[in-house]
Structure 1
Amino acid sequence: MPLSPRSPSTSPPKPPSRRERNKQEKLERIVAAATELFAERSVDEVTTQEIADKADIGAGTLFLYAKTKSELLLLVQNSTYADALVRGKQAAEEITDPLEAVMAIVCPVAECNRKHVDNGRTYLREIVFGDPTEPHHREALGLSLQTEEAIAAVLQRDGSTTAQDAAERARIVSAIVFLTMTTPFNVASPVDDVVQKIRDQVRVLLPD
């Protein structure tokens, strides 16, 4: 009787080491501390020593996770941006109207960016002008790309828009969002007004 071939053994995933667990736990404390302090004050007013003290770590340890306050801001904002994007994509799945579906993606992103206006504007400037080789900056760029891809997917639903045209329009929507949220003219505007300005511009861009 022929022997059946042996299926490859699948070993269970290795649990994280104590060092890895400690590293993750410190990262979570840093994010929590920076999130709380940045919610209260602008990134320029918060010191790295304050963040280190609140996270109960040394300043030297803090710089192992982020070398500058800008990197710390990226670390914090990336987390809220990622959550907002997930919510927006889920909401867009239930909406058939292209404009409303695009705005369902954009709104949570705009709202999380406006929780602290100065920090939100600094975050967007860091995405454009920061060091793309820095890991937190690279993650932010990836989130921006994911947002454009989600918008492009919405614009292709009708079957009449090519992938290239959808991608170009999604890039323009991204530029609209960036400029509307960073312009000094909108610094004092409530988030609902900012979202309405974005909607008005996107509506003109989309085909009837």
Structure 2
Amino acid sequence: MPLVSRPVGRRERNKQEKLDRITAAATELFAERGVDEVTTQEIADKADIGAGTLFLYAKSKGELLLLVQNSTYAAALAEGKRAAEGITDPLDAVMAIVRPVVECNRKQVDNGRTYLREIVFGDPEEPHHRDALDLSAQTEDAIAVVLQRDPGTSAQDAAVRARIVSAIMFISMGATFNIADPVDDVVREIRDQVRVLLPR
């Protein structure tokens, strides 16, 4: 007997509409002024909801940033995975995955660095934080799949190397010493380190 999908109720539609308004408001304000310069009250006002309602969807400004950045990170990762499919060289394929993630993270450098800090130090019990950790794991999995194309690389070695690539990305994107560097320089720095990591 086929399953019949039930229509979404009014309450669920209202919740989704509020979440969409919150996401749009936070996205716009964070892009304009950076996460540190925006208050949660401003986001609530722009989303046309009360501050108390806002905190039902995200309990902190850090969680709001995770909410905003997670969707762009997911799109960047999907773009990178598509690009890597047709590339045979392992280093080039890894970098095809890495580049869109770096571009996404560097659109607004302070927001990108704060996003990374939230991933590392945020509350893993919060749903947007869990989503961010899941995206990090998906990135590592995508890199490991590419590395396993080399017949001499075991699944375990590929997973370990992918974890190292992820750490290299985090440090390169979040470090203060290259805060003013353009995307190409950050990608080049990551590539130089990953090249040494991969078997020859």
- The whole-number CA distance in structure 1 between the counterparts of 2:20 and 2:38 is 18
Q: Deviations over 1:89-132 (max 9, x none)?
A: 11110111101100011111110000110110011011111111
- The whole-number CA distance in structure 1 between the counterparts of 2:162 and 2:69 is 22
RMSD: 0.8
In structure 2, the partner of 1:84 is: 76
Match status 1:52 vs 2:49: no
Q: AA paired with 2:116? A: L
Q: How far is 1:42 from its partner?
A: 1.9
| Unaligned segments of structure 2, at least 5 residues | none
TM-score (norm 2): 0.98
In structure 1, the partner of 2:123 is: 131
Q: How far is 1:41 from its partner?
A: 1.4
Match status 1:189 vs 2:171: no
Q: Which one of the candidate residues 95, 111, 131 is aligned to 1:103?
A: 95
The alignment partner of 2:37 has SS state of coil
Q: AA paired with 1:160? A: G
Q: How far is 1:194 from its partner?
A: 0.7
Q: Which one of the candidate residues 113, 117, 136 is aligned to 1:144?
A: 136
Q: How far is 1:80 from its partner?
A: 0.5
- The whole-number CA distance in structure 1 between the counterparts of 2:198 and 2:60 is 40
Q: Deviations over 1:6-25 (max 9, x none)?
A: xxx22420011011011111
Q: Which one of the candidate residues 26, 34, 43 is aligned to 1:42?
A: 34
Q: How far is 1:170 from its partner?
A: 0.2
Q: How many residues align?
A: 200
In structure 2, the partner of 1:115 is: 107
After TM superposition, the runs of 4+ consecutive aligned structure 1 residues lying more than 2 A away are none
Match status 1:66 vs 2:58: yes
Which structure 2 residues correspond to residues 19-34 of structure 1 after superposition, within 5 A?
19-34=11-26
Greater helix fraction, Structure 1 or Structure 2: 2
The structure number with the bigger radius of gyration is: 1
Which structure 2 residues correspond to residues 152-167 of structure 1 after superposition, within 5 A?
152-167=144-159
The alignment partner of 2:123 has SS state of coil
The alignment partner of 2:35 has SS state of coil
- The whole-number CA distance in structure 2 between the counterparts of 1:124 and 1:106 is 15
Would the alpha carbon gap of residues 188 and 164 (structure 1) be closer, same or farther in structure 2, given more than 3 Å must change? same
Q: How far is 1:81 from its partner?
A: 0.5
Q: How far is 1:158 from its partner?
A: 2.0
Q: How far is 1:37 from its partner?
A: 0.6
- The whole-number CA distance in structure 2 between the counterparts of 1:146 and 1:130 is 19
